[in-house]
Amino acid sequence: MQELLLGSLGIQIVGFVSRYPWQVLVGVLVAALIVVESLKESRSTAGADIELGDLGCGDGDGGD
């Protein structure tokens, strides 16, 4: 079944993921963060200044 997906490359990918699951997860998360940051920088908004990662936690000095 795996041979139908990507040929022999699919088997190698499955073997790598099963051998290093945490490293693969970290790599996917880092890639997702890079994509989100690049989208945030390239997006221009007129009017409201809303950011993708804005959680409304104040200005970063511990106060609101």
For the chain, give the DSSP string. Answer: -HHHHHTHHHHHHHHHHHH-HHHHHHHHHHHHHHHHHHHHHH---SSS---TT-----SSSS--
Closest of 26, 28, 3 to residue 14, by C-alpha: 3
Beta-carbon contacts of 6 under 8 Å, excluding residues fewer than 6 positions away, are: 13
Model confidence over 12-47: pLDDT tens digits?
888 999 999 999 999 999 999 999 998 887 775 544
Q: For the whole model, what pTM was predicted?
A: 0.51
* Tokens 């000095």, residue located: 61
pLDDT exceeds cutoff 70 at 4: no
